[in-house]
Each structure stands twice: as C-alpha cells, then as structure tokens.
Amino acid sequence: MKKIVFLLLGLALTFALTNCGESGKKEYELNNKKSSADFQKRYGVKSAIVEYDLSGSREGIKTLYFDDWGMRQAEYTRSVISVSGYTKALNLVNIIDGEYQYIINLDLRAGTKKRNPLLKQIEDLRYEKGFNGLGEQLLLQMGAEKIGTDNFLEKDCDVYEIKKTGTKLWIWDWITLKSETNSRGINYAEVARKIDIDASIPSEKFAIPEKVVLNEVDLDNIENEMREENK
C-alpha cells in the first residue's frame, strides 16, 4: 500500500505552496521591471498538444492540451497502475481553467473541484528575488536541480533531477517532454512521442464533461484545520 501511495504522490508532482516575506515584496517593487503578464506564462510557448507514452509501474497514454501559455490546460490520461500485485485502471482528466482545477474520473463520472493552486503560487513567486520565469520557479519549488542538457524529440532540453523522488525531467520551454522516476521499488516513465506547437485547441477539451458529480474541496480550510490540530 505504501508503494501505491508513493506512486500516486509522485504522479501529483505539480503544485507546491510557499510563502514569501515582506522584504522580498519590497525588493520586487523596487527593482523588478517585468510586466505582470510575465508571471502568467507557465510555458515558453502559447499553446501546444503533447502526446505521451507511459511505461513501467503505470502504463498507458496521456495527452496534454494547453493554451494561454499554460494558464489553461487539460491532461487526459488512460493508464493502468500495477504495484506489488495491485492493479488499477484509471481514465482521468485534469483541467486547469481560470480560478479552478478539476480532477475527474471519466469512468465513474465523478471528481473534485478546488481553487487553482497555481494562482496562489504566482502571487507568492512574483515577489521572489531573482524571479526568472514561472516555469523555472515551479521546478525549483519541487526541489529540482539542473544536471545537464540533452536533445530529445529534436528539442534542446535542460535535464533536471528531483532527488527526493528519484525523478529526472527533460524540459524544453518549461514543458516536460520526458520524465523518469525510480524510487522505493517503483519505476515509471512518461515519454512524449509527438508535440504540436502553436496548436489550435478545441474549446471542448477544457469543458467539464456532462453528468459529472463534483465534490468541491477547500484546501485553505483544510490547511487551517491542520494547523489548529497541530497547535
């Protein structure tokens, strides 16, 4: 069971919440010349469609659609998780659009709705000293360290490592084209086989499917309750 939990946590390597001090805010206000639009470019291209093959402890396919520099995106994943004799088929869509994030099991027609955590990260990170772009800051938050470069899918990628999860990432324009995780007996990989840059994304890709029951989750309230319990 621990391996399954670790795998699911590894698959959720996306958003990490941080807090910035007032001194960082003043530093930004005095010295940072970037426009507010620069802080809302998650990727280095405006739109794309990326198709991935999944292998290892999780096998299947994933398609990433994004527009507005990644501020609007949807990931459709069909996969089978196999860990220590446990097997689970998943058909998921993860949609980020405006104020909310939706994670939906398409087979069960059920999912969760929560505030888009990326918006809080943008607000926090824009006051960080030495801000070099949202995509880079998100990687640094996850503990990623650049270890080299490589050419993959005819793209010049920066290679990052996240030691705490045993993960290597091949990044081009802040888009992950390849990832490999090897930790605690779990091995899985996501490898892009096709990328279509500046693609026109159909609006229905970001639409919530019909007849889906959504459970709204208030992460801020959960965090406050956990703080109170730990006092």
Is the distance from CB of 190 to CB of 52 less than 8 angstroms?
yes
| pLDDT band, residue 4 (cuts 50/70/90) | very low
End-to-end CA distance of the chain: 30
What is the spatial distance between Cα 66 and Cα 76, in angstroms, rounded to a whole number? Answer: 11
- What are 199-225's pLDDT values in tens digits? 999 999 999 999 999 999 885 554 444
Q: In order of start, what are the domains of the chain with their CATH numbers?
A: 2-133+184-229 (2.50.20)
Lowest mean pLDDT among 54-63, 80-89, 128-137: 128-137
Q: What's the pTM?
A: 0.79
Say if residue 168's pLDDT is above 50: yes
Instruction: Provide the 3-class DSSP secondary structure of residue 229.
Output: helix
pLDDT at residue 24, as a whole number: 33
Pick the closest to residue 137 from 127, 151, 147, 149 (CA basis).
127
Q: Are strands 167-172 and 175-183 parallel, antiparallel or unpaired?
A: antiparallel
pLDDT at 38: 60
pLDDT tens digits for range 185-203 = 789 999 999 999 999 999 9
The predicted structure's pLDDT at residue 195: 98
Tell me: the pLDDT tens digits for 23-76?
A: 333 333 333 444 444 667 889 999 999 999 999 999 999 999 999 999 999 999
Helices (H), 12-155: 22-31, 117-125, 134-141
